[in-house]
Structure 1
Amino acid sequence: MEFILEPWPWYISGPLIALVMYLLLYFGKTFGMSSNLRTMCAIGGAGKRTEFFNFNWKAQRWNLVVVLGAIIGGFIAHHYLSNPTNITLNPTTVESLEHYGFANSGKSLIPDELYGLDALKSIKGLAILILGGFLVGFGTRYAGGCTSGHAITGLSSLQRPSLIAVIGFFTGGLAMIHLIFPLIF
């Protein structure tokens, strides 16, 4: 018997996200993945060198469970719940991606040209990963949180700075894919 999985419909996943957010707000917690990096640095002793990491990280231990759950959930979803089928992409998109050097457009969720081990072996691939990581880290710190923190927690608690940050995230993403991405590839 073959078990075919479909994504959860919005009327299941949406209310579950809302329930989790309600519980976090009720218990006075905020959700965000980037804050976990600060917590891990504080656990490692970075507070001895930099004041930013000198805080009560034990109060944030619960949030590390979120990271562990994301890692375990991603592994389970990829290895046991994924249906390895082609992705339906617009033929114009496939042609455009092939023009940039992506050979298997629509054959996998992530392109090997960016995320495969061969990308680490080239100067260009390594530079993209390092520069991209730096820019994401800088942007996260500058915006006071990451996309999940602002878009899920910030917007659900009606914070104006989160709305501005989310607009900035999407504007930056559109600028990246339409203006900078063609220059890189």
Structure 2
Amino acid sequence: MYSFYGTWPWYISGFLIGAVMLTLIFFGKSFGMSSNLRTLCTIAGAGKNVDFFKFDWREQKWNLAVVFGAILGGFVAVHFLSDGSGVQLNPKTIEQLAAMNIEAPNGKLGPDSLFGWEAIKTPKTILILFFGGLLIGFGTRYAGGCTSGHAISGLSNFQKPSLIAVIGFFIGGLIMAHFLLPLIF
């Protein structure tokens, strides 16, 4: 019998993602998390100043349920479906982090030296976060969506632009992880 503690196997999580995508396709919807930021900005009144935010946000309110579901699902997974062991990294990854003077996260999602409160106090970390956020925001807008929207929704709908975007995401991630990150740290 399978225990829900630890990582879910690919055949369960993959099946669930596929079932959600088939349901969305059936109802003529597409999935993407970054479009929710536009919806939230529109609800907050950004359409008064910027034409990009002038649209009927009520047509996208179903997608806001996805955001709240992801938040709720994350909370339930961490607090009720986890054995508390956290994230287990490959030993080679830990060696590579150590070579860049970054300690292992020890079960956390990220190491404290990069994501802890003390790290945010350094100008270097603030610059990295600022420029990283700027690049992600620009890239998401330029690519017409985020990684989840293209990789999950776009590919399941056989959209060629999504295939190109996903290939670009992977190439960019490899370049960042193997070439740029060691230069930064």
| Identity among equivalent pairs (%) | 58
1:25 paired with 2:16, answer: no
CA distance in 2, matches of 1:133, 1:112: 19
Cα pair distance change 1:145/1:118, threshold 3 Å: same
Relative to structure 1, the CA distance from residue 119 to residue 82 in structure 2 (aligned partners, 3 Å threshold; closer, same or farther) is: farther
Structure 1 position 102 matched with structure 2 position 102: yes
Distance 2:146 2:73 in 1: 20
- Deviation at 1:56? 0.8
Contact 2:105 2:112 in 1 (8 A): no
Question: Using the alignment, how far apart are the partners of 1:120 and 1:113 within structure 2?
Answer: 9
Q: Is this contact kept in 1: 2:151–2:162, CA < 8 A?
A: yes
Verify: 1:128 aligned to 2:94, yes or no. Answer: no
C-alpha distance in 1 between matches for 2:78 and 2:133: 23
Q: Gaps spanning 5+ residues in structure 2: where?
A: none
Aligned to 1:147: 147
Q: Tell me the CA shift for residue 6 of structure 1.
A: 3.0
Q: Kindly tell me the number of residue pairs found equivalent between the two proteins.
A: 182
1:59 alignment partner in structure 2: 59
Output the TM-score relative to the length of structure 2: 0.91
Residue equivalent to 1:46: 46
Alpha-carbon separation, structure 2, partners of 1:130 and 1:84 = 32
Q: Structure 2 CA distance, aligned partners of 1:126 and 1:116?
A: 12
**Could you tell me how far 1:39 is from its partner in structure 2?**
0.3
Residue 31 of structure 1 aligns to a residue in which SS?
coil
Q: Residues 15 and 95 from structure 1, CA distance in 2 versus in 1: closer, same or farther, beyond 3 angstroms?
A: closer
CA contact (8 A) 1:33 1:149 kept: yes
Q: CA deviation at 1:4?
A: 6.9
Seen in structure 2, the aligned counterparts of structure 1 residues 163 and 4 have a Cα distance that, compared at 3 Å, is closer
- Contact kept? 1:24, 1:30, Cα under 8 Å: yes
CA contact (8 A) 1:97 1:105 kept: no
- Between the aligned partners of 1:161 and 1:28, the Cα distance in structure 2 is 19
1:74 aligns with 2:38: no
Structure 1 gap segments, 5+ residues each: none
**TM-score scaled to structure 1, two decimals?**
0.91
Listed one character per residue, the Cα deviations across residues 98-155 of structure 1 (whole Å, up to 9, x for unaligned) are 1212123554332112221122111111111111111111000000000000000000
Deviation at 1:27, TM superposition (A): 0.7
RMSD between superposed Cα atoms in Å = 1.8
